[in-house]
Amino acid sequence: MIDWAAGQGWLTAGGKRLEWACWGDRAAGPVLVLLHEGLGCLALWRDVPARLAQATGLPVFAYSREGYGQSDPADLPHPVDYMTRHATGVLPAVLDAIGAPAYVLMGHSDGATIALEYAGRVADFRVRGLVLMAPHVFTEPLGLAEIARARVAFDSTDLAARMGRYHRDPVATFRGWNDAWLNPAFADWDVTDAIGYLRVPALVIQGRQDQYGTLAQVQAIADQSYAPVDTLVLDDCRHAPQFEQPDAVLAAVRAFTGRLIAHEAARPEGA
């Protein structure tokens, strides 16, 4: 189990050494676990974890997946189902290492997909809810075209140098993500089957101008989940609601987690 009081450190999951950090009091309620995007990492959450802890009163935990930030390198190339593999093969060990009795999984982009897949594919009654920002559950031409443009930008600009401020090996980080999405087999990628197995409430947040996915992603989750789904579509917002509309995101997460906690408190003991 990690030493929460240390505030940061390393844990081992999926055979890899992963960096982590935490905020708040672990005993204050369900731990809000942050799962980063396809080119994100622990450091790239910036001040979001601290602001979430302050806004919700909940403990917050974030980590860098293998191949990101300062965590151990990933085994490349990523298979097409790399998000499913992380959800089912790595995230369980991360949650066990945190050692909390309850969790809310909050993911962005790839991280949102991993959170959804964990809740839909792993029987873990510690998970009480999901916050999914810009999730993707199937491929769309719009998203694939944007990812192809990202490759051009990586090859022709200083993107690698900028990523190097946050990632141990920015080339491997970028190629791992980009090559997987541009693999011809990824055109048929679809994990909507996991939605039907969700049994916890979800808050889905997406920018109306998201360049990586349309509102069809949000609608699929709302339509196919048997558990309650709240949706928040933000105007003047693209793929990163937590940075482009931070106050709206914080308010929505605070309200959502507040309802979860109130519902838990109202449940009969032993239910």
pLDDT single digits (tens) 158-195: 999 999 999 999 999 999 999 999 999 999 999 999 99
CB atoms within 10 A of CB 22: 24
Contact 137, 195 (CB under 8 A): yes
pLDDT single digits (tens) 6-55: 999 999 999 999 999 999 999 999 999 999 999 999 999 999 999 999 99
pLDDT, residue 269, reads 61
* pLDDT at residue 270 is higher than 60: no
Please give the angle made by the CA atoms of 170, 80 and 116, to the nearest 5 degrees: 90
Q: Is 1 exposed, middle or buried (0-12, 13-18, 19+ CB in 10 A)?
A: exposed
Contact 9, 42 (CB under 8 A): no
- The CATH superfamily label for domain 4-138+190-266 reads Alpha/Beta hydrolase fold, catalytic domain (3.40.50.1820)
Every domain of the chain and the residues it spans: 4-138+190-266
